[in-house]
Structures are given as C-alpha cells and as structure tokens.
Amino acid sequence: MTTPFSFELLATDGAARRGVVHTARGDIRTPAFMPVGTAGTVKAMYLDQVRDCGADIILGNTYHLMLRPGAERVARLGGLHKMIGWKHPILTDSGGFQVMSLAALRKMTEDGVTFQSHIDGKRYEMSPARSIEIQGLLGSDIQMQLDECTKLPAEPDAIRKAMELSLRWAERCKTAFGDQPERAMFGIVQGGDNEIMRAESAKALAEMDLKGYAVGGLAVGEPQDVMLAMLDVTCPLLPADRPRYLMGVGTPQDILRSVGHGVDMFDCVMPTRAGRHGLAFTRHGKVNLKNARHADDHRPLDEESTCPAARGYSRAYLHHLIRSGEMLGAMLLTWNNIHYYQQLMQGIRDAVEAKRYADFSAETEAAWERGDIPAL
C-alpha cells in the first residue's frame, strides 16, 4: 500500500516549525532545503553525494525538461526518478518562472502562455492543464500550479492582474491534477510586494484545500525586509497543517530568517552556482577561493566540517583549482556548499525541537559576522 501524501507538524518555536512531509518515496524532514536539479542533475554532483549530504528531496525544472529531453521521452524511460537514479521525492516547478526569465516572445493569455524556446526558437504552448500533464509525465511527487510571476518593482495593476490570473490557473491545475493520494499539487501565493494582494491570494488558495502552498514572486529583486514582511502577511493565512514552500530562496541568512516567519521548504541554485564560481559557504560565512590570500594556505576550508571537500583539501589547492578553471574545483566547492546548506537545515530542525531557535539563529549569524579564519 502506497503512503498518502501528508504533512505532520512535530514542534513549533514561535512561528518556526519542525515537521515532516510523508510521501510514497520517503519522508521529507522540515524545514528542508531542496537542491536544484534543473535538467535532471544537481550540477557538478553525483546524486548519491546529494543524498549523503542530507537531502531528502530535490527539485526538477519543468521548463528545461520539457524542452530537453522532453516530457514524453522521460515518461517512456520510466519517469524522472528512474532516468536519473534518484529513489526519493522530487518536486517539479511549473515552468512559469523560467518562461518569464528565459523564453523569448512570450504571450500570456487566459488560456496559458505561448513562448519560444531559448534553445532552438521552437514555439510551445503551456496551459495550466499541460503544465500538470508534463509534471505527471515526469512523475514528480510534488507538482506546482502554473502561475504568472511578476518581476519587482511592478505597478499595482500588473501585480493584481498576475495574482488574479494565477488564482484562476490554480483552479484549473487542481482540476487537471485530480485525485492522486500519493502525490501533491501546491498552489502559489502571488501578490508582489503588496500586503493586501498577498492576503487575498493566500485566502483564496486556502479555500481551495490544496495539499501544500508555496509563496512565489519573492527573491526577484526586493529587499529582504520586504520579503519577510510578505511572509508575515501570508503564512498566518495558510492552513497550519499543510507545508509552506518559499520558492527560489535563498542565501543561508534568507533561509534562517524565513524559518522564523513560518516557512517549511526552500530551494535555490545559489549553493551550486556559487560553487561553480569559486564561492564557498561555511559556518564562518562566505569564503571566496579566488582570493590570493588562499594561495599558500595549507589549512582546509573548515577542519570541523564532516564534509570531505571541506576538511580533506587545502585552501591552496582549492584556490589553484578555481584559478585554473579545473572542473574538480567546481565539484568540490559545490559539494561543500550543498553539505553546508543541509547541515544548516539540520541545525535549524534541532533548534526548533529544543525551543532554542532564536538562540541558534543569533549564534549562527554571529559566526557569519565574525567572518573567515585569519589569513596566514
């Protein structure tokens, strides 16, 4: 018998929540960070490494996978899990954000969006039902509604138009998704940086009785305090017994603070992208391995880390690899970064359970503020 999708709230500390999402492919401990596997791969990592770092779930990208290799092909190959060799939960986004940010000559109507591929210029149509169909072909465990994401800053009329269209699309996605006990479809709260529209969107989605809810349209250029203010408006209006997912966020500080405003799930390309560009995230904050101060430093990135990439290689070697453009440099720093993000999430989960989230947050941010170890 397959496990039906559900969310269990285990502990709270203020607005911070500790829970578990139960799925047919395993549990997701929350708060959770989902490494982004855009095109069926978490860039520069083996998936068993991703799992060993502590990830319970990864993210796949509907837009990229529908263009290449194609959703129907993935289905013929047994689904995304089988194709990439990942036996655990996968969340797929709807493709809406990538259409906004990557596709050319896009046209938005009530029926959906028509756009040109950024790869070969081929024209595609994506309706709410087609987005859900594609995600079903991929076989993801958590599927996102198609939405219209507005870049900030934006005029109130544009924000309202996108928010209301996204609500109508949520209804159509819910109908297309149907009854799938072992899977979930999440609605996406929109409304830009407008508190009234955020509240309207959250209330309307809550009435749809979905299995989970995402907060979208943030981390698109607004200051952190605006993002947190929108969470304060949104999260209390969402059902307490459903998971809350803040899309595309973010830095370690963004995640740490957003947990304190009621968020359960996160994803972002930052740890992988930063690793490919010579930037490491550590308990001492960010470390730029391109910097010449590391050229003669025999010490590891973090001698107390349990990640082999952080403790098993000298800073001098990592600096050499990055400056030489060697692939191994990107692989090692990505490994370190994904590991650090997962360690941060475990620390957050433990702190919420122990009701010391505020102390943990203060201690963690103080360590980042002190910065890296002194140069030799």
Asked, for residue 23, whether it belongs to a domain, the answer is no
| 103: confidence class by pLDDT, cuts 50, 70, 90 | low
DSSP single-letter state for residue 297: -
For 154-199, how does the pLDDT look when each residue is reduced to its tens digit (9 = 90+)? 999 999 999 999 999 999 999 999 999 999 999 999 999 999 999 9
Q: What is the pLDDT of residues 321-347, one digit of tens each?
A: 999 999 999 999 999 999 999 999 999
Range of the domain at 303: 275-367
Examine the fold and report which residue of 218, 244, 268 is the final residue of a domain before the chain moves on: 268
Q: What percent of the chain has pLDDT over 70?
A: 99
In the prediction, which pLDDT does 102 show? Answer: 67
Do 311 and 246 share a structural domain? no
Question: Catalytic residues, which ones?
Answer: 93, 267
Mean pLDDT of the residues in the chain? 96
Residue partners of 76: CB distance under 8 A and separation at least 6: none
> CATH code at 56?
3.20.20.105
In angstroms, the CA 266 to CA 235 distance is 14
CA dihedral 34, 38, 40, 45 (to 10 degrees): -70
Helix (H) or strand (E) holding 81: helix 80-84
Give the integer Cα–Cα distance in Å for 338 and 341.
Answer: 5
289 and 241 in a common domain? no
Whole-number pLDDT of residue 104: 66
User: Residue 118: what pLDDT?
Assistant: 85
Distance CA 155, CA 326 (A): 45
Q: Are 20 and 29 in contact (CB under 8 A)?
A: yes
Last residue of a domain, one of 268, 302, 334: 268
Q: Based on the domain organization, do 225 and 166 belong to the same domain?
A: yes
One domain, residues 319 and 211:
no
- Indicate the number of domains in the chain: 2
Q: Spell 199-220 as b/e; 16+ CB within 10 A means b.
A: bbbbebbbeeebbbbbbbbbbb
If asked whether residues 43 and 135 sit together in one domain, one would say: yes
* Over residues 109-120, mean pLDDT: 90
Asked whether residue 46 is assigned to any structural domain, the reply reads: yes
- Cα 281 to its chain centre, rounded Å, is 17
In a domain, 47, yes or no: yes
DSSP one-letter string for 206-266: HHT--SEEEE-S-SSS--HHHHHHHHHHHGGGS-TTS-EEETT---HHHHHHHHTTT--EE
> pLDDT per residue over 41-73, tens digit each?
999 999 999 999 999 999 999 999 999 999 999
- pTM of the complete model beyond 0.95: yes
Task: Give the mean model confidence (pLDDT) for residues 266-273.
Answer: 97
333 is a domain residue: yes
Q: Per the domain annotation, does 261 fall within a domain?
A: yes
Distance (Å, whole) CA 338 – CA 139: 24
Instruction: Write the CA distances from 285 to 66, 280, 331, 357, integer angstroms.
Output: 37, 8, 19, 19
